[in-house]
Amino acid sequence: MASISDLMIEHPEMTSFAQLEKLVVDVAKSGEIHLYFDLKPEYPDTPPGWQTLLELTFYRAELQRAPE
């Protein structure tokens, strides 16, 4: 399971929500099947409804993952 806080800690170079979205895509495509929303990303561009956006981003990327 990937958590938002772990992703942010492991990638301190991220400075925007857009970068976090790209990382979520990479995580989903790598085979991760759960994303845990344990922390609100406090980036200046974090939009309202950020959880829904990340959930949809993760789900869409997961669907695009090549079958094993």
Query: Could you report the per-residue pLDDT of 14-60, keeping only the tens digit for each?
Result: 999 999 999 999 999 998 989 999 999 999 999 999 999 999 999 99
**pTM > 0.85:** yes
SS3 31: coil
Task: State yes or no: pLDDT of 65 exceeds 70.
Answer: yes
DSSP labels, 6-24: HHHHH-TT--SHHHHHHHH
